[in-house]
């Protein structure tokens, strides 16, 4: 059955088949899975370190007696606001995953086209009888396939955090839609920039990746500092996935719309 599926995939999109065949090696898959799992563990450990381990005030105390004390139950255990803890973990995870997807994906796509040009195979791709959309689809789906795999492995943690934080499933689906739309936009721009900037060698992928990284850092800073829409740079937020994330999830108290600072 597997050969039949691969044959059908090759008939539908030979470029995608070529990319998957070259990248889905067992070693690469294990590395991608390992990085994904280690990253999730590190994030969980970081947020675990933010929990109150004594009565001194920490953010996730519940029913604080005063600013410097946390309340304990009758058994002497510190009362922790677990929904808020999971909510913050989930929101942080969303921002980190979007950042990595866009930055790493941009580099992979631009680097792939740069290598195709150096090897002289880019012209063969251009002269292919397949439609341009078919070829670009193969690139968009195939080149970052290991990145997609690492992201898919985070779905269980996302679902767990969503349920634990009391976030509606519809909002999680909205986040996935935002992630897909952001990847489609940034990856398309990366491919277009690479095709229009031939002869730049290996410098172009780093330049494009740096530009995306700086842009996302600027957008994250704008979103977290509640920049008003009257700011001259506010129009750039139309291309920012962070505003949508903060609007959907906002704070644990439910004031997501305040992230837009619409006065």
Is residue 75, in this structure, part of any structural domain at all? no
> What is the per-residue pLDDT for 7?
57
* Residue numbers of the domain that contains 199: 82-260
Give the pLDDT confidence score for residue 10 in this predicted structure.
61
**Residue 73 is encoded by which pair of tokens?**
């139950």
Asked whether the beta carbons of 94 and 249 are under 8 A apart, the reply is yes
Question: 232-250 burial, b if ≥16 CB within 10 A, otherwise e?
Answer: eeeeebeebbbbbbbbbbb
Is 34 within a domain? no
d(CA 140, CA 239): 19
Residue 48 lies in a domain: no
pLDDT on residue 256: 44
Q: Please count the residues of the chain.
A: 263
**Given this model, what pLDDT does residue 71 score?**
76
- CA atoms of 243 and 241, how far apart (whole Å): 6
Residue 21: inside a domain, yes or no? no
Global confidence as pTM: 0.82
Give the residues of the chain that fall short of pLDDT 70: 1-11, 54-57, 63-68, 120-132, 198-202, 226-231, 251-263
Q: Which of 131, 103, 96, 255 is nearest to 190 (CA)?
A: 103
Question: How many distinct structural domains can be found in the chain?
Answer: 1
Predicted confidence at residue 63, as pLDDT, reads 65
Closest CA to 208 of 98, 95, 103, 113: 103
Identify whether 98 is part of a domain: yes
């Amino acid at each position: 059955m597997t050969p039949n599926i691969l044959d059908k995939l090759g008939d539908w999109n030979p470029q995608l088949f070529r990319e998957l065949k070259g990248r889905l090696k067992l070693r690469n898959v294990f590395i991608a899975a390992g990085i994904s799992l280690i990253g999730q563990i590190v994030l969980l450990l970081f947020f675990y370190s933010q929990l109150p381990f004594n009565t001194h005030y920490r953010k996730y105390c519940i029913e604080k007696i005063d600013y410097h004390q946390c309340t304990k139950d009758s058994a002497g255990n510190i009362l922790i606001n677990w929904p808020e803890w999971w909510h913050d973990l989930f929101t942080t995870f969303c921002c980190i995953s979007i950042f990595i997807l866009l930055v790493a994906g941009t580099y992979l796509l631009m680097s792939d086209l740069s290598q195709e040009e150096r090897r002289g195979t880019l012209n063969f791709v251009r002269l292919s009888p397949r439609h341009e959309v078919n070829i670009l689809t193969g690139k968009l789906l195939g080149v970052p396939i290991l990145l997609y795999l690492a992201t898919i492995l985070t779905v269980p943690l996302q679902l767990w955090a969503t349920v634990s934080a009391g976030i509606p499933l519809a909002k999680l689906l909205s986040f996935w839609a935002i992630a897909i739309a952001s990847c489609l936009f940034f990856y398309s721009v990366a491919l277009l920039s690479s095709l229009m900037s031939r002869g730049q060698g290996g410098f172009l992928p780093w330049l494009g990746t740096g530009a995306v990284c700086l842009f996302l850092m600027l957008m994250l800073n704008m979103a977290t500092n509640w920049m008003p829409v009257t700011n001259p740079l506010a129009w750039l937020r139309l291309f920012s996935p962070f505003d949508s994330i903060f609007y959907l999830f906002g704070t644990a108290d439910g004031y997501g719309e305040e992230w837009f600072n619409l006065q």
